[in-house]
Structure 1
């Protein structure tokens, strides 16, 4: 009997985020929903991550309305979102009451699977979101942020797997945001996890360094149940392995993906002109489609590579791209090897840029980085040396318990602040996530 492998397509969220800065409109996506729904996918990752902010900030769209559109169009396919644990969809820790309502409303408006991660793999920051997902009837997928460094051994990852299972995870995802998984690492990691859990294991990797399709295949051979792919128009580069390619490869190896190749080809035809439009508008930078083996050396996610390049170009210093890239792993080591995923990738990238621009390391330290060193984001994977800590925050106290335990409930205050502006709980949550952006958006929406 063929072993079945489930496929999650990311074209509506992570693929679009990785290659075209999440600028695809709901209208452009809506036209493909019927086809997507008949393709045979296990799920479609379509919400969360940066989409929420981008909808309001750049597209003048209501992210909740987008989600309801997906729910209407995807009758046979599960919808999936990415949630940053206690950070929800923002860049800081939110109080538990906010996290719970956000999860409740996400499920109510149409989400089936919530992939929950913490940028530091601190499982204390997953607890509230996971409990809420289970409480409101969603599938709670806990995600391990995969990265490399002296502390990230197979023992480290299997311990995390067990902690996540104890928290009530329905499945576990290896989230390789930087494309650092090589085929060998993928095989050994899935094999090690398979020994300690019977939960479904999903492998998610970006093709930044050119290894992802091989890593997914080796993960499947080692016992993974689900893989993440992206339809070919937005596959490859800093995105994910192309869905059609993975389907053909796996089918020939005797695996049943459940996908219909004819439908996938029609979908590729649908999305190709949309992709070309973003190429013509200059949104899709050719650099994002190039294979970048440096990612394996610098351990930098594709989205971070593109952000660094565009920020330095805006400052008129694209010449500093290489020096900043070289400084990133040094800063990361100093900060206790945080995985480079939002918000840590932004912090490490900004700090590395400042170090290079200033010509002196840690002469200027952003507030977020100081907060991180103070323990406000959770526990770093490895200890930060006394020397670095003192240089950054002097003798300030370092928090060692769960950061959200220090946060008071925020919903009453948010409801008060949005009186006359917000008409629904969803509006309140939009405002709580991105106050300035949501204020403008809601004023226009109800004008």
Structure 2
């Protein structure tokens, strides 16, 4: 597509991750993205803190590419059209080439859009682009009023991929504006051909779709963006709590207020959403994630309003801080590019700048990717076909059947005392059916059980095996729902770990014992 510009969404100092990166990593990422074909950088910060956009914007301007700076839209007492217009003026002073109103939750109402575009246009003479999700059902009308107010670009999605938590259909908006002064002159026939093509493609991924495909007006209250809604659905399913969605959406309103009405967009949407899930599952703020504590203590930037003082005090204690950060958060981060280069090599990277950046953004995922890359790319068509065609194994110890694991089929034959897998025999013992649980790697007796409070990945043992611990000390860190959660010792004694680091643990699984 030589005539089509490629745009990427860049989270300012967060880049693609869930934390702030050092300035040298930001510079390298932006430079590499531009060299690899990115033409337009849409740069935003979840807190709308201009300090978090400064370095990424300078790096993008240096490449000579188009720099679009985005306003993360929210509807709270602390977010007004005057605040947003002033922010747009700040972005213009930064050197932005255009402004984007990023309405990730579909909260922007038609007449508010009209007033907001007018206010921004009065403050700065830059093109304005409207990015409004269809989640709440408002977006088509919102785009129309934005166009009438002078918006220059409207984000849409081809109809086969539109609506739900996506965007308004391109064809709908084209027809809506036809014959007006805003006529796009796009060929509706060509658009219908594109839609037909993607309708067929979409069928292959139906098993991965969120069930939120229509308008969800609960979002007008909870302000959950589209991506966050599907994430919450997946997270609750993982924890065996799919029936708790309404409770989580209600609790999210409280958490949002407690954390100073920060706009809910990645990464803050994930941080606030996960905390709301934990509050519902374990009681309000009995378990505060590390990222939530960082958000409360200024490590993500300045919050729009003052957060809950009691929670800030609790977060400061957990982070071993005396007061919240007031400076640009990245000013506290030492240069880390050289460190990332070494770590990427140790974990299987090939030494390229792309591999280093992949590791820097997604260290756990990158390590697994590096390990399996030698096997070549996965054929998505065959992978999905295998999942659809593979018969389900019979719930019996005897018989022959096919078991499919991660897309690979295994022929299994069992006679009650042994099984044969792809021709290789194994002696086994079959017991009565019971709830599945990951196998332990060590056994201990007669101590205080330490159980995983959530399903997730065991990231770290905080002590060596057999070390003495005191009650209340953090002994294990689990990653769940993309956030880190500490597991503390319930008694003093010697710690004996059962589940190894890197293992998948289930909710309630015994992971260690204190003797």
Using the size of structure 1 for normalisation, the TM-score is: 0.80
What CA distance in whole angstroms lies between the structure 2 residues aligned with 1:363 and 1:105?
Answer: 42
Residue of structure 1 equivalent to 2:322: 396
Q: Distance in 2 between matches of 1:345 and 1:179?
A: 14
- Give yes or no for the alignment of 1:218 onto 2:154: no
Which segment drifts farther, 393-402 or 217-226? 393-402
SS of the aligned residue for 1:288 comes to: coil
Deviation at 1:310, TM superposition (A): 2.2
Counterparts of 1:306 and 1:76 in 2: how far apart (Å)? Answer: 33
8 Å Cα contact 1:231-1:244 kept in structure 2? yes
Question: Residues 298 and 421 of structure 1: is their aligned pair in 2 closer, same or farther, counting only changes over 3 Å?
Answer: closer
CA RMSD of aligned residues (A): 1.4
Once residues 274 and 349 of structure 2 are traced to their aligned partners in structure 1, the CA distance between those partners, rounded to angstroms, is 34
Gaps of at least 5 residues in structure 1 are 1-73
Match of 1:408 in 2: 334
Tell me if structure 1 keeps the 8 A contact 2:341–2:351: no
* Maintained 8 Å contact 1:376/1:399: yes
Which residue number corresponds to residue 242 of structure 2? 318
1:317-374: CA deviation from partner (whole Å, max 9, x where unpaired):
2221111100101111110001111111111111111111123x21211010111111
**How far 1:405 moved relative to its partner?**
0.8
Using the alignment, how far apart are the partners of 2:322 and 2:241 within structure 1? 34
Task: Indicate which of 186, 201, 208 corresponds to 2:113.
Answer: 186
1:82-135 CA distances to partner (integer Å, 9 max, x unpaired)? 011100011100011111111111111111100000010001111111111110
For the residue of structure 1 that corresponds to 2:212, the secondary structure is helix
Query: Displacement of 1:437 after TM fit?
Result: 1.4
Q: Cα distance 1:432–1:200, how it changes in 2: closer, same or farther (>3 A)?
A: same
CA distance in structure 2 between the aligned counterparts of 1:325 and 1:239, rounded to whole angstroms: 19
Residues 1:344 and 2:272 are matched in the alignment: no
Larger helix proportion of the pair? 1
Structure (1 or 2) with the larger CA radius of gyration = 2
Greater Cα shift, 199-208 or 250-259: 250-259
Q: Does 1:102 align with 2:29?
A: yes
Deviation at residue 432 of structure 1 after TM alignment: 1.0
- 1:417 Cα shift? 2.2
Correspondence for 1:130 among 41, 54, 57:
57
How many aligned residue pairs are there? 370
Q: Which residue number in structure 1 is paired with residue 350 of structure 2?
A: 422
CA displacement, residues 300-324 of structure 1 (integer Å, 9 cap, x when unaligned): 1122222212221222222211111
In the alignment, which residue of structure 2 is the partner of 1:283? 208
Q: Which residue matches 1:142? A: 69
Contact conserved, 1:141 with 1:170, CA < 8 A, in 2? yes
Three-state SS of the structure 1 residue aligned to 2:224 is coil
CA distance in 1, matches of 2:209, 2:280: 27
2:281 to 338, 357, 369: 357
Structure 2 alignment gaps of length 5 or more: 376-515
Alignment partner, residue 434 of structure 1: 362
Matched with 2:380 is: none
Offset of residue 252 of structure 1: 3.0
Deviation at 1:446, TM superposition (A): 4.7
